[in-house]
Amino acid sequence: MNYINNFGDYVELLHSLLTKAVGANATVQYDDEPEKQDKPKPFIKLPLPEIESFSYSDDGRHQNTLKVTVLIKVPKNVAHPTIEAANIGGFVSAQLSGQYFVDPEQMGEDDNGNSKALDPEFYSVDEPEEIQGYPLKWHTNEQGYAITFEQTIRYGNLEAETFLLKAITPQEGDSEVKTIYESDASDP
């Protein structure tokens, strides 16, 4: 993946980053996945981010500022669940600090062997801001932790414009169509 094409791509990037980072020490899941695993270990749950704002970047691409939450749930049968929740919460927040999703080593590869990392030239994400954490106690008395942060993402890339204006052709009533602007095919 070279750039973010849609909102789901961002959620996949976050899942890939955390899955590669925690390895076999925790199970990373989207929020709607059932909590099943072979041995007791913590869950890192990824609910869908909230879209805080819609805007356009300086280069004309559509961008969203997201409010993202990462939930950590530690089952009661894991040794020292409070300590485990704190450790994983600290680890996740450290992984997110300064994260642009551009390091192939951190992001891993897809099924075809292609890097999941973003191309740094496309400037697809800003550095996460306002990273915060707080303890959770799930309704089942399991220990947990939540990490929240904001991150601005941009869709598309700089090589192909997201919205390309090809022509402006107004028409009044039944009158003839007038072309006010038309892009040159060789130089849009």
Q: Which helix (DSSP H) or strand (DSSP E) does residue 56 occupy?
A: strand 50-56
Neighbours of 41 (CB within 10 A): 17
Q: What is the mean pLDDT of the chain?
A: 88
Q: What is the predicted pLDDT for the residue at 188?
A: 47
Percent of the chain's residues with pLDDT above 70: 94
More confident residue, 84 or 180: 84
Nearest CA to 66 out of 137, 184, 132, 153 is that of 153
CB 158 within 8 A of CB 119: no
Question: Residue-wise over 117-150: b if at least 16 C-beta within 10 A, else e?
Answer: bbeeebbbbeebeebebeebeeeeebbbbbbbbb
Query: The whole model's pTM is what?
Result: 0.81
Residue pLDDT, tens place only, 15-46: 999 999 999 999 999 988 877 777 789 999 99
Q: Coil, strand or helix: which one is 112? A: coil
Q: Which one-letter amino acid corresponds to residue 179?
A: T
| CATH T-level assignment (fold) for domain 7-160 | STM4215-like (3.30.2000)
Residue pLDDT, tens place only, 126-183: 999 999 999 998 877 788 999 999 999 999 887 765 545 567 777 777 778 788 777 7
- What is the spatial distance between Cα 66 and Cα 184, in angstroms, rounded to a whole number? 37
